[in-house]
Structure 1
Amino acid sequence: MSGEIKTLLILPHIKVHNANALSSPFTIGFPAMTAWLGATHALQRKLNHDGFTDLSFIATGVVSHQCALQTHKGVGDYVSSIIGTGNPLDKNGSRSAFIEEARCHLDVTLLVELNGLTKSDEVAVLARVTHHLQGHMKMASGDIKGFHEPYIQRVEDGEASDIAMLTRKLMPGYVLVERRDLMIAAMDDGQDAMDALLDYLVIHQSCTKDDEGNVTWQAKRKTYQDKPAGWIVPIATGFHGITELGEAKNQRDPETPHRFAESMVTLGEFKMPYRIHSLNEIMWHYAVVPESNLYLCQQTHTQQKLASTDDWSDFY
């Protein structure tokens, strides 16, 4: 079934060095969705400042081609250690005190849905995008070391041939999609949020012994509807306000109300692009739920599923 024609800005194979891998206070790995939507929002503001005032970025899709987490696990070690940076010596020749930061090197492709782009502005917009990516712009707190040439592509959402043409260009890679439905299913069975999160991440080891004494080990993860749930990972998708709106001393923007917040973590899945049948499955956008003090990055199909939910924070 065909749908509306969407204009996409494709930013292929962006090489990001030393991106922030500490996606929440208790998870480490692929950067949070807030980092990617923040990067594309920053790019939109730069383009608006360049004179393209009608241009707006509606949603963003993230495709991971490579993620190299900077950790080390030695022989016989039970846990991995963070590989620290080589900071300069202090005036006494000693190592200065520093806080360990989890980092990763990335190769990602970003898909950005545009609104307000005219045919006559395409060449100029792509030139400015290239300029900004080559400048001092960062992504997920990491440095951009290189990228392939950005381009514009128009896709009729729901048209199989258009989606197939797009997803072929994203291979090999994995698109990140939200799997809050797994959390909901587990919590409907009586688990709390943390147990529901961990239940899909834990690997259960079991062994069997045959008549000859040979031992065979097997690793198993939880299934969903009698099928493997997929490549499930914890992802940070926004923030939950824990104080009232107000002013704070030395806040960055004195004209904007401030509040303290905590990270919102749920489940996500890395999917091969050929399994995608609609752009709505992979595109993320901002959403604010004032009555629950939530500031989220979420997907359209997830929002439609939970439109009748009274308290969305129950599922994080």
Structure 2
Amino acid sequence: MSNIKRLLLLPHIKVHNANALSSPFTIGFPAMTAWLGAVHALQRKLNSQGCVDIKFNSVAVISHQCDLQAHKGVDDFVYSIIGTGNPLDKTGARSAFIEEARCHLDVSLVLEYTGIEKDDEPILQEKITHLLNSTMKMAGGDILNVKEPQFFKIEEGNPKDLNNLTRKLMPGYAIIERRDLMTEAMAAGQDAMDALLDNLVIHHHCKKIADEVSEEKVVWTIKRKNKGWLVPIATGFHGLTELGEAKNQRDPNTPHRFAESIITLGEFKMPHRIKSIDEILWRYQTDQTNNLYLCAQTQKIIQTEQEIEDSYYA
């Protein structure tokens, strides 16, 4: 029996003032935890409205536009965050300024789902459209507009099904994980931060060559260590303390722990270049032994599980 994925496309979601501080030391496209969190919130709202069986198993994020709210003056060396004005306090003075990096987005989400039949798709379309335009936020930003959701079925090994979807995602860039570059660099002796920066830094090289007109000519080349549009992305959290209770925690019924962000490399890749839908799908993955709460790519999770299975039966 062929493997068929049932997918729901939420096309061109316009998000205003999304959170661009994806971690304590990265700024730009929102963290993967923000996108999977928004989809999980959407699922819970649908479950509470009668769609009790629907489940979103994995998510692909495609960026069509990301407008970071930053400013660089004529003589400025670096960009500055464009902040929002806080209300005056009771003395008439301006309150303390807290930097909140924001960005305006146009994104499409592809959700792999189970638990709903073909006849119920129109009802699901209506409910999702209403929720996104009324009660939902996404990556901390306000949803200004979203086009009508669309349903797709992709059979594994059928390029026509995949092309029907990827055409809807162009022009745009799907975010994929490039943890392999980090692993390779750290295996060669670099620490995590050096491995990250080494793949992001832009190298400028000059070379003198002979010229027919003049005696010598200087040619500059600009390149990175690896090809591709590589960016730092936040993909989860690492627990720092034991599970327990904290004073004034938001949910008194759920164990609490302090955690730090996990940063790795990602790559923006045009959807028409993918060979399998699993290349761009993300889902939750937990590692209780190492206190890791991750957003990981479906394809790499499958590969890891297969490696474990192979080693078990070897």
TM-score normalised to structure 2 length:
0.92
Residue 203 of structure 1 corresponds to which residue in structure 2? 202
Aligned to 1:198, the other structure's residue is in SS state helix
Report what 1:158 is aligned to: 157
Distance 1:214 1:89 in 2: 60
Moved over 4 A (4+): 209-215, 305-310
1:188 and 1:157 mapped to 2: Cα distance?
Answer: 34
Indicate the RMSD between aligned Cα atoms, in angstroms: 1.8
1:190 CA drift (Å): 1.5
Instruction: Report the secondary structure of 2:176's partner residue.
Output: strand
Distance across 1 between alignment mates of 2:274 and 2:280: 8
CA positional deviation for 1:215: 4.3
Please give the alpha-carbon distance, in whole angstroms, between the structure 1 residues aligned to 2:116 and 2:159: 24
In structure 2, how many angstroms separate the alpha carbons of the residues matched to 1:309 and 1:188? 20
Please list, as runs of the form range in 1=range in 2, the aligned pairs for 1:73-222 lying within 5 A after superposition. 73-209=72-208, 215-222=218-225
CA distance 1:64–1:264, shift in 2 (3 Å): same
Q: In the alignment, residue 221 of structure 1 is paired with which amino acid? A: R
Aligned length: 304
Distance 1:75 1:122, change over 3 A: same
Shift of 1:285: 0.3
**Alignment partner, residue 68 of structure 1:** 67
Q: CA deviation at 1:98?
A: 2.6
- 8 Å CA contact 2:21, 2:100 repeated in 1: yes
Per-residue Cα deviation, 1:110-163 (whole angstroms, up to 9, x for no partner): 001111011221111111101101113100000001111112222213311111
Q: 1:307 to 1:119 in 2, by over 3 A?
A: closer
Which residue pairs with 2:39 in the alignment? 40
Amino acid at match of 2:234: A
Asked whether the equivalents of residues 281 and 299 of structure 2 are also in contact (C-alpha less than 8 Å), the reply is no
Find the aligned partners of 1:133 and 1:43 in 2 and give their Cα distance.
8
CA distance in 2, matches of 1:19, 1:3: 39
Higher mean C-alpha displacement, 204-213 vs 137-146: 204-213
The residue identity in structure 1 corresponding to 2:287 is: V
The answer (yes or no) to whether the contact 2:173–2:269 under 8 Å persists in 1 is yes
Paired position in structure 2 for 1:237: 235
In the alignment, the residues of structure 2 paired with residue 279 and residue 88 of structure 1 have an alpha-carbon distance, to the nearest angstrom, of 47
Partner Cα distance (1:214, 1:104) in 2? 43
Counting aligned pairs with the same residue, the percent is: 64
Deviations 1:238-288 (A, max 9, x none): 000010011111111111111000000000100001111111100100010
User: Runs of 5+ in structure 2 lacking a partner?
Assistant: 309-314
- TM-score scaled to structure 1, two decimals? 0.92
| 1:9–1:23 distance in 2 versus 1, CA, 3 Å | same
Output the amino acid matched with 1:300: T
Residue 255 of structure 1 corresponds to which residue in structure 2? 253
Residues 204-236 of structure 1 show CA distances to partners (whole Å, capped at 9, x for unaligned) of 11223555575443211103xxxxx31000000
Q: C-alpha deviations, 1:1-51, integer Å up to 9, x for none? A: x94111111110000000000001110010000000000000000000001
Q: What is the rounded CA distance, in whole Å, between the counterparts of 2:272 and 2:19 in structure 1?
A: 28
- The answer to whether the 8 Å contact 1:89/1:95 transfers is yes
Q: Structure 2 counterpart of 1:298, which letter?
A: A
Instruction: Tell me which residue corresponds to 1:226.
Output: none
One-letter code aligned to 1:222: K
1:115 partner amino acid: T
Stretches of structure 1 that go unaligned for 5 or more consecutive residues are 224-228, 311-316
Partner of residue 299, structure 2: 301
SS at match of 1:197: helix
Note the C-alpha offset of 1:104. Answer: 0.4
* Cα separation, 2, equivalents of 1:235 and 1:306: 21
CA distance in 1, matches of 2:306, 2:53: 33
